[in-house]
Structure 1
């Protein structure tokens, strides 16, 4: 809980800036924000955990049943964010507390515990996430891309005209990102018609997860003001690109402030030299841990039924999907799950999508990487060829596997993983698995019009 004076000083400051209301916002298992609206005059009470929530009524939060007490949302006052589009409101990232202690099944608490484990080893975890999203106009017969004009070619990616058509919206969003001090450095029209990416600076994992959670809230509200709909659905249409959320990860030695993956500051490792790589051994060990636990990790980086319609080589698309299919890494290979980008000292996981709860995806990524460091994980040699053309991955000299094909497959891997249970706790894994199996079953057993058309008269 926060000290009385800290909250009182912040209340006075926010009031002077015109803030009238506050949100102590936490997320459910899906990463969806939940809150109550509190007048600024009651900020001090909110900071002491005055706002209680029956979390058993929400998806995947535990404490199910009327006999359980409520959780309190305790705001992290350092995250105070005045809404750029409506300065009457201030948003706070918050932790849930139960009986006066951080609630073990709260997503933000889970990430903080992972960061504490890293800190005990004198390590800090930095993450940058590349958020992609679609913007649609709702029509009487469905949804149409935000830009009404067609484009030439198989994809509108990087198209100047398509980007310029969307500038009224993009200018508004990017102005807000810049105003928030996140370090805006580029934005563009992505591969899908009406799909965009806005990139900003990396930060420590907790700050990044907070920002991406707020980013989704901000994008939805700004897009709505244009009479349109923002979607973070991973794969809205089978013939178009998925919306990824690539995780760019690095570890810093807090004693020296050195990035352990940066070969400009650290020597190329012996293991890396053996594979002909310009990389540190710490980076390869971290990759080894990510690969060892790739299936379980997929359950939290790609947590929706729809996610797995994006982890394909091509499908109904006119060209390759640019999404990973195999559990592999390469020095700069965009067809692999993991790559070592040539322009930045980090490990990029290309598997995560925009339906992720970013507190959970970064937490399990860190646990997997630390596992690799502790066990001197060996990822094998890098695969730098086009993996979409690979018919026999097991011929590559290691037990190379495909990424999970369904939410059920990934969820069952998480359920069976003693590593994940050690990282997240038995109770949370059971909660997560039960929720995801329910989601999978609800959609798997639905018979679609396409199925009836294909099988009704022919089986």
Structure 2
């Protein structure tokens, strides 16, 4: 390398990288990548790498459209030798004909970060990643990867964590070597369900890390003959997997949420309450972004599970350290949005949350007094993906997030999700056969 090497080339050399995954996700969260040898790193840094957008997935393109060029963001460069020696990945911003592509989730999140910055606000985010480790039995049925993980109340079980020590430790070690600050790894409420936590960061960094973590967890699980799934509800009788987001607003490196004198008793500033009110105001539309699959509503619609609770909000309320709320306030530093699940695209989920928060702040909305999860004054969250899509289309603030870079993205996303719902609805299920075959 010469002294004029690009930042990306310098990072690759310092980390002894031999191949780079140039990666972006489509609107559904599918990770798309090309494997670029380090010998071509300068070309990658200068021009990006091309993709046929229609083939890549939900990117707002048809076969006739020009290439999507994935332009790498060197700040996101992440060596992943834990997967393959010499491998790294870099998150990219898709462009078309030299302009940021309006259908690209990372580009949409960047725009919402800019909107916050226009108000002298910085957004920080923490994310809790929950997932199941599964396998298939000889009949092809989905089962827990650890056959001994069958306790009636498996949450936090020391034995369940220990049996999965090798997998959990490999993910934890990877996170810490990358400087993410992994601070806890636990068995969650469902048999076969786990969570691995890392420190919060600026919102774009955290969204990138969620995508990277899913990749790492999936690949390291595969190395041990397991499948890691972020599907919200892979088992009908077990707790579903969430993607809880801890959000805060800052200005000039100072947090704006804490307040010593809070008459409502949660230790929050008026700005924080305005942010909460924005989330509650747009909760139904937000569900289309934070719970974006048919399966998502098997999680939020669950009344209980074999372990005793669903841990998923059903009504848009807020309160203190109470996990039944859509917006939980663990302390005065942040608010936790609990509506998201493992299928959420972190860029769109975060962008939607920012849009709702900014609307609450700009309109100085008031969330009212902290309320219980049975608050009769609030309509329940959408019952299905179709209901959530309809709420999205009726909400200019949240649909406007999708259209923040350019037009027609909200319409495209709504059509995509509506088609997903009706494709699922057209299938004949075992439940229907059991209930209707000889009922008439």
1:163 CA drift (Å): 1.0
Displacement of 1:149 in angstroms is 1.4
SS in 2 for 1:72: strand
Alignment of 1:341-356 (within 5 A): 341-342=330-331, 345-356=333-344
Q: After alignment, is 326-335 or 297-306 more displaced?
A: 326-335
State yes or no: 1:268 paired with 2:261. yes
CA contact (8 A) 2:81 2:87 kept: no
- 1:62 has 2:40 as partner: no
Contact 1:250 1:259 survives alignment (8 Å): yes
Q: What does 1:59-138 align with in structure 2 at a 5 Å threshold?
A: 59-66=57-64, 68-85=65-82, 86-138=84-136
Deviation at 1:18, TM superposition (A): 2.9
Instruction: Please say if residues 303 and 309 of structure 2, whose CA atoms lie closer than 8 Å, have aligned partners that are also in contact.
Output: yes
Q: Please state how far the C-alpha of 1:39 moved relative to its aligned partner.
A: 1.0
Q: For structure 1, which segment, 10-19 or 357-366, has the greater mean C-alpha deviation from structure 2 after superposition? A: 10-19
Aligned equivalents of 1:402 and 1:317: distance in 2? 23
Equivalent position SS for 2:330? coil
Q: Is the 8 A contact 1:313 1:324 kept in 2?
A: no
CA contact (8 A) 1:282 1:373 kept: yes
Per-residue CA deviations over 1:253-303 (Å, capped at 9, x if unaligned) read 12xx2211122xxx435xxx2x44432111110000001111111000000
**TM-score, normalised by the number of residues in structure 2:** 0.95
C-alpha deviation, 1:375, in angstroms: 0.6
Partner of 1:147: 146
Structure 2 residue 376 is the aligned partner of structure 1 residue 424: no
Alignment of 1:60-459 (within 5 A): 60-66=58-64, 68-85=65-82, 86-141=84-139, 142-152=141-151, 154-254=152-252, 257-263=253-259, 267-269=260-262, 273=263, 275-315=264-304, 317-342=306-331, 345-383=333-371, 385=372, 387=373, 390=374, 393-394=375-376, 399-425=377-403, 426-459=407-440
**C-alpha distance in 2 between matches for 1:293 and 1:9:** 40
CA distance in 2, matches of 1:204, 1:169: 28
After superposition, the Cα gap between the structure-2 partners of 1:163 and 1:18, relative to the gap in structure 1 and judged at 3 Å, is same
Change (3 A) 1:318 1:88: closer
Give the superposition deviation at 1:407: 0.4
Q: What's the CA shift string for 1:158-211, capped at 9, x where partnerless? A: 011111111111111111111111011111111111110000100000000000
Q: Note the C-alpha offset of 1:137.
A: 2.5
* 458 and 217 in structure 1: CA distance in 2 versus 1, 3 angstrom threshold: same
**4+ residue segments displaced more than 4 Å:** 4-7
Give the alignment's TM-score, normalised by structure 1: 0.91
Residues 234 and 353, structure 1, Cα contact 8 Å, conserved in 2: yes
On the 8 A contact 1:61/1:431 being kept in 2, the answer is no
The DSSP-based 3-state class of the residue aligned with 1:22 is strand
Mind listing any 5+ residue stretches in structure 1 that lack a counterpart?
A: none
RMSD: 1.7
Structure 2, unpaired ranges of 5+: none
Structure 2 CA distance for partners of 1:371 and 1:362, relative to 1, 3 Å: same
Deviations 1:303-339 (A, max 9, x none): 0110000003525545121111101111122111011
CA displacement at 1:249 relative to structure 2: 0.3
Report if the CA contact (8 A) 1:25-1:34 is conserved. yes
SS of corresponding position for 1:341? strand
Please give the secondary structure, in 1, of the residue aligned with 2:358: helix
How many Å apart are 1:151 and its aligned residue?
Answer: 4.7
Following superposition, the deviation at residue 213 of structure 1 comes to 0.4
Aligned residues: 434
Distance 1:13 1:453 in 2: 58
Could you tell me how far apart the structure 1 residues matched to 2:26 and 2:7 are? 30
Structure-2 change in CA distance of 1:5 and 1:208 (3 Å): farther
